[in-house]
Structure formats: C-alpha cells, structure tokens
Amino acid sequence: MTISLLRPFSKKTKDKALAASIRNIFGFKPGNIFLYKLAFRHKSAAVDLNNSVKVSNERLEYLGDAILSAIVADFLFKLFPLKDEGFLTEMRSKMVSRVQLNKLAQKLGLERFIESQQENFGTNRSMMGDAFEAFIGALYIDKGYKFTQKVLLNNIIAHHYNIEEIQTTEVNYKSRLLEWAQREKKTLEFVVITETGNSHNKQYLVEVVIDGQPICRATNFSIKSAEQLAAEKAYDISANKPLPTESQA
C-alpha cells in the first residue's frame, strides 16, 4: 500500500502537485523536486538501484537531524542569553524530540506525501517525524543552510511552537522506558558506546539494550542527554503505544 497525496497521474503531474503543496505549506518553491520526493520515501518503499543499493529517506533523515539540531541550538542560544548549557540542551531536546516532530508533521499534513508499504502509521509512529527531518535534509541540499534556517524560524517555529509551553513541559523518557521495562519484565541497559571530541566539546554515543538486544542509539553532548534521546527512540519502538499523560506517568 502506498500512502500518498498524489493521485496516479503522470510523473510530471505528480511532481507539480508535490511542489505546489510544499509551496503552500512551507512558503517556498522547491528547486530539485527529486530531493523532496526522496525525503518522503520510507524505507519500506525503498527503490532498488542497479547496484542493489536501496534508496529511501534515511540518509536525508540523518542529515536533516543534524541541520535541525544546529538551527534550533542557535535559535535558543539567542533567545535565552542568560540561560546555562543545561537549560539550552534540555530545551533543544524537547523541540526536536520524536514526539514533538511527529505532532508537527501531523499538523502540517506531511503524512499525505509519505510513500510507505506499511498499512498505517500506527505501527511506526516515528515515520512522520523521520520524514520531517528528511525534508529538512532535502531543503538544506536544495537551498542551503541560510535558506533552511529562514524557513524553519519564520514558517515553522514562529507558527507551530509554543516556547513557553515547551519550557514547562517535563518529559522524562528514560523514566518512562524504565517503567515500561519493569511492567513488561524486560531487562534494560544504557550503554555508552563511544566518546568523541575534546573535553570542551565531547559527544557520547549511547545504546539502549533490552533483554540483551541492541534497540537504538543516540548521540549528545552529555551522557544524560544522550540517554534521554535514546530512551525516547526506544520507547516508541518497544512500547508501540501512546505515551501516558503527565498525570499518568
């Protein structure tokens, strides 16, 4: 099953429809439409090339994650000139969290563009957030960093983020994953795989291991933050159910 807004018309018509939709939602005209089509191609709908390499949005997602994080970090650094590194790191984690990006992508209606062989998004709640990150990667390649920054700040953050609300929201995914593991009688470990960089700019790669099986990894500038990011990813993968409300947590 292919999930897509685009009707089975010609390739040229589909491309024009996607370009028009991007312009309506994000306020700019795409240059290389192929990049944006690729951004919305889930790995379940990956296309095989002649050399047996499967093409999906995973590489663009990787790039978009880094670009999004950098732009949000710069935004917060300027917005909160008196706040320390811990506050800024926590705010950035909240703004680029998988749950936040899933909600954002749904609000923007991006699920209409995603090509996937999965029956529905309920089996992979992170699909929409992944597609948004891949879209940012495509935008960066197509238009450059400054243009991407402008689109994110003026068309996304300014209209779809409530900074005051985000500040007061407490979401401890590590605690929730621990609660889930206890409830399901699973063994849970957070393992530091690597440490890179110097003492002033060190990054930690943390892996979540459940019942001895590696589940996912995340990188950040502190072990605690990397664990939280990894826990968020693992919670989505392992719990596969709506997160409890703060009153339920």
What does the pLDDT look like over 94-104, one tens digit per residue? 899 877 898 89
Instruction: Say what the pLDDT of residue 168 is.
Output: 83
Q: Which residue type is seen at 192?
A: V
Instruction: Say what the pLDDT of residue 85 is.
Output: 86
Average pLDDT over residues 48-75: 86
CB neighbour burial string for 59-76, b if at least 16 within 10 angstroms, e if fewer: ebbebbbebbbebbbebb
Using a pLDDT cut of 70, give the percent of the chain over it.
82
Strand extents, DSSP E, the chain: 47-48, 54-55, 188-196, 203-210, 213-220
Instruction: Say what the pLDDT of residue 6 is.
Output: 43
Instruction: Say what the pLDDT of residue 50 is.
Output: 64
Q: Does residue 26 surpass a pLDDT of 80? A: yes
Strands 203-210 and 188-196: antiparallel
pLDDT band, very low/low/confident/very high, at 89 (cuts 50, 70, 90): confident
Integer angstrom CA distances of residue 231 from 108, 191, 217, 234: 26, 11, 9, 5
Strands 203-210 and 54-55: unpaired
DSSP string, 15-31: HHHHHHHHHHHHSS--S
Q: Is the pTM of this model over 0.75?
A: no
Hey, what are 142's tokens? 């197509």
pLDDT band, very low/low/confident/very high, at 1 (cuts 50, 70, 90): very low
User: Which positions are catalytic?
Assistant: 65, 133
Q: Which residue has the higher pLDDT, 216 or 172?
A: 216
In the chain, what are the domains?
A: 11-168 (1.10.1520.10), 173-239 (3.30.160.20)
Q: Which of 53-62, 192-201, 238-247 has the lowest mean pLDDT?
A: 238-247
What does the pLDDT look like over 109-166, one tens digit per residue? 998 898 877 655 444 557 888 899 999 999 999 999 999 999 999 999 999 999 998 8
Hey, what are 43's tokens? 């790995």
Residues 219 and 192: their CA atoms lie apart, in Å, by: 10
Exposure of 55 in the CB half-sphere (CA atoms within 13 A): 10
Integer angstrom CA distances of residue 207 from 182, 192, 235: 19, 6, 13
